[in-house]
Amino acid sequence: MARRKAREPGRSDRKKGKVRENRGGRPAASSRKRDTARRRHAEELIVVGVGASAGGLEAISELLSALPADTGMAFVFVQHLAPKHESVLPILLKANTRMPVVQVTHGVKVEPDHLYVIPPDRQMELADGHLTLSPRPAGRAQYMPIDYFFRSLARAAGSRAVGIVLSGTASDGALGLREIKAAGGIVLAQTPESAHYGGMPHAAIATGIVDLVLSPRDMGSELLRISRHPAYRAATAPAPETPPDEPAADDAELRRIYAMLRSAKGVDFSLYKPPTIRRRIHRRMALHKIDKIEQYTLYLRENPVEVESLYHDILIQVTHFFREPEALEALASKVFRKMGESRRGDGPVRIWIPGCATGEEAYSVAIVLLESLGDETTNISIQVFGTDISDAAIEFARSGVYPESIAEHVSAERLRRFFTRSDGNYRVTKLVRDLCIFARQDLTRDPPFSRLDLIVCRNVLIYLGTPLQKKLMTVFHYALRPDGVLLLGKAETVGPGMEFFSIMDKKHRLFQKRAREVPPAVIFPHDYALQRGSMQNRRTFPVERSAASILGQASQFLLEKYSPPGVVVDSNLQIVQFRGQTGPYLEPAPGHASLSLLKMAREGLLYGLRAALHSARKKGQPVRKEGLRVRYDGQQRSIALEVVPLGTGEQERHFLIIFREEASMGSSPRKSLDRAAPEETSAGVARLKQELAANRDYLQSMIQDLEAANEELQSANEEILSSNEELQSTNEELDTAKEELQSINEELNTVNEELHGRNEELSRANSDLMNLLNSVQIAIVMVSADLRIRRFTPTAEKLLNLIPADVGRPIGNIQPNLEGSDLQNLIQEVIDTMTVREHEVRDRSGHWYSMTVRPYKSARNQIDGAVLALYDVDASRRLERSAAHAGELARALADTVLEPVLVVSHDLRAQFANRAFYRRLDVAEADVVGRPLAELGEEWLRDRKLEDRTRKALLEGNERFVHQAGGLRVQGRGIAGHDGQRSVVLVLTEESEGSNTGA
């Protein structure tokens, strides 16, 4: 009561309106402390999400058996369960862990050292330290509860999230692991060899982001080690509210790590936010069992592969189709529709998505654009540029193939219209793929695209420092058209670039380019070497860049001023670079724009150029052609050209074509021809013949090449025909295999039905067993081979001091309510010797029980524990004591009687006699008890009539008789014994006068 009163507000506080609040409506100090404690608890708790499907029960059991009960972590198990069957997972898992196993109910709070299990027909997510449930989504082709929970785990726990994928089919969990990894968490997968079904582990490993691939038993020890490693604690520690003013002690080591990454990958991460980089480094240190950052720096120098792994860890990005759909809808309504109305025939629509990761963002924007434009797409050209710094991500994006789990974010209509099924995956249709162009690009140093209508840069700026963000704002301003639009993520803003952009839609982060009289200076950060080499080749970086820059400018000026004009072409004779003034030799061809060298060559240059290129390609050596006549600006010029092959055998072949002018032919060709002398005319004819001969030689070589190519095509055709026959035979084999698979599928369906039936029988037998144990009024405890409690009856709870949470605990850890009982050693002895042990025990209140311990035999007749049963024998013990007491009382009464007394058994043997009888016969007790009456030596005991009367009394029960023999008077009466046998009591007295013989 005192505590309640202390918590209630006083009357004066009620009057003043200060109930648990201070000035400004802020919570009281005690409330703030509790909130701070809860927040700190939620920020420090490590939550381990475990996903599994078929074969996952055995894997999770092995994982739990390797974990102690006090890990300090919370475990959440998500498995694919039958929606219409009650799950017995919590009961099965209790046998493998000492942690409390809880089937999740809506809103349950996550506590450390607990195991939470998803219920059937539900999907689950973690939010604010609580597990919430929602109905299983309807109308979906794929049910992905593991991905759904992993994504919420990444959002709620961040770097304290641990994702584990165990045995199962399909690919559920792979996408969720990417989000956990992006949040800085740890991801593990079961080795496919140890899994009953390797589909889910294979899909997780194929993402390339799994930190450790282990067996379930090894995962337990590794989880404990990582969770208690100081570097992991540093990586998961909450970020300080205010950054420290002084530089961190590890800044020097960070700079060395930045230098190694720059040298190996050509990316300067010093421009990124340091806390993110530090968390990634601490995470890698925990995985490699390294305590100090200096040791990790040395490890990076000695292991270039780790540099690659750290690079990918820092760059890991998570995205999915149609992320933040409200922003895309705003983009469609406010940008794309206006674009369709105004852009018809006015050049292509150009969109740039920097940091596109694996391409989902670019394809989503392209699909939304196509849906917004509708029929207008036929009149508008579209170009969507997706760029990212990761080569692997760009290659993945170009393929356009995604797992079937994307159905969770893509509607059925969009899947049908913009995707095709291929080998269990979804592939973006060619219509959408042709609109998207993917290329590797480093925003910190590479030039941008230009004349863009839209830039979609979401969740990229949050990783960059403020100076780099400001520089990128100038880049985006330069790249956009005057009315261009910038779309950022919901956690981003233009910040220092507000002078360059105006707000178009604040809620959805849409900004429009702001017109400026003086465009901002575009600065591309470029303060390190452009070449990217291996760590072994480049350990240091140039320090004196200013001198090198001046020399480079001087070299560039000399090349532009005095070098001959020329072009560089690729193997397809497409011009990739112009050098100097090439106008006198090349000109754009009419029609569609083209950079083909042969189309741009001026009149008179083509035949010599073609022959030189052919000869240089064939010989691989520089070729020079002289005396070529080129018409330019109304005059003919005599030029020489040189074709130089570039590149090695491993690179794509390129050619450098250099033009050199020899002499001019005068002003007007026609006038020169009219004034020409006959000698000049004959020289011109000779020159024409020479050109004709050269053309003839060139045509002859082309014919030879054509014939050789024709022969190769014929041989290739024959190979194709033979391959076609092989493919036909392979097709027949596939048809046969398909029929076999169909028959196997039918067999699997049959086996599945049988398993369902057996499962129902097992459930029924389990229910019968539970009802039987609850109904039996006997204390029964079942113990496993390692002496852990499996089951017990309600009667055993009170007698042995058991509670439901004791299931799974060792029997030696409990304190039973029995005196002097060593249950652990007794049960171990029964298991070792395979014998039954029985003895009586007494509880502390004096109640007696008969304890029986039997070996527990499995269905295969193997000893797998023991069964302990306690039977209540207190009533029978009390009855025995009463009978013994009554017997002692009868003996005492008989010994106090002065007359001799003899008790005769059913077979006429002496059963008991008192002391007076022994004195009369002068014999000992051993000479009387158990002997026939005829052998006792007394005449009256051998009397035939007395024997007959005694037999009659034995038969008729309680009959009383009196018999006189030899001057003695014998009184007899039959009695019933406790064992059901009758006896006769004979009392001997002296004969008195007037007695009635035979009465």
Which sequence positions are flagged as catalytic? 53, 80, 172
Cα 441 to its chain centre, rounded Å, is 30
Kindly give the pairing relationship between strand 382-388 and strand 401-403.
Answer: unpaired
For residue 806, give every residue at least 6 positions away whose Cβ sits within 8 Å of its Cβ, in sequence order, or none: 789, 792, 814
Give φ, ψ of 789 to 5 degrees. -70, 130
Are residues 285 and 299 in contact, defined by beta-carbon separation less than 8 angstroms?
Answer: no
Q: Residues 152-178, buried b or exposed e (16+ Cβ, 10 A)? A: bbbebbbbbbbbbbbbbbbbbbbbbbb
Are residues 387 and 445 in contact, defined by beta-carbon separation less than 8 angstroms?
Answer: no
463 DSSP assignment? G
Helix H or strand E segment including 623: strand 623-632
Strand, helix or coil at 353? Answer: strand
Joined tokens for residue 710 = 């024709």
Q: Is the dihedral of CA 763, 769, 773, 774 positive or negative?
A: positive
Segment 290-297 long-range contacts (CB within 8 Å, at least 24 positions apart): 290/231, 291/229, 291/230, 291/231, 293/250, 293/253, 293/254, 294/253, 296/253, 296/257, 297/253, 297/256, 297/257
CA triple 420-425-430, angle to 5 deg: 35
Are residues 961 and 930 in contact, defined by beta-carbon separation less than 8 angstroms?
Answer: no
924 DSSP assignment? -
**How far apart are the C-alpha atoms of 178 and 926, rounded to whole Å?**
94
Measured torsion, CA atoms of residues 397, 399, 402, 407, in degrees rounded to the nearest 10: 90
Kindly give the pairing relationship between strand 635-646 and strand 108-109.
Answer: unpaired
Are residues 801 and 834 in contact, defined by beta-carbon separation less than 8 angstroms?
Answer: no
Are residues 168 and 197 in contact, defined by beta-carbon separation less than 8 angstroms?
Answer: yes
Q: Which amino acid is at 824?
A: Q
- Provide the angle, in degrees to the nearest 10, between the axes of the packed helices 174-182 and 145-157: 10
Are residues 628 and 604 in contact, defined by beta-carbon separation less than 8 angstroms?
Answer: yes
Lookup result for tokens 């996408």? 175
Q: Which amino acid is at 226?
A: I
Q: Residues 214-239, buried b or exposed e (16+ Cβ, 10 A)? A: bbbebbbebbbebbebebbebbbeee
3 state SS for 294-341: HHHHHHHHHCHHHHHHHHHHHHCCCCCCCCCHHHHHHHHHHHHHHHHH
Are residues 49 and 164 in contact, defined by beta-carbon separation less than 8 angstroms?
Answer: yes
Q: Which amino acid is at 908?
A: L
**How far apart are the C-alpha atoms of 6 and 565, rounded to whole Å?**
93
**How far apart are the C-alpha atoms of 816 and 798, rounded to whole Å?**
9
DSSP string of 508-544, one letter each residue: TTEEEEPP-SSPPPP-----S-S----TTT--S--S-
Lookup result for tokens 């052998």? 935
Lookup result for tokens 């022969």? 711
For residue 914, give every residue at least 6 positions away whose Cβ sits within 8 Å of its Cβ, in sequence order, or none: 894, 895, 897, 900, 901
Beta bridge partners of residue 380, listed in sequence order: none
Other C-beta atoms lying within 10 Å of the C-beta of residue 90: 17
Helix H or strand E segment including 222: helix 216-227
CB-based burial of residue 908 (10 Å sphere; 0-12 exposed, 13-18 middle, 19+ buried)?
A: middle
Joined tokens for residue 392 = 């692997």
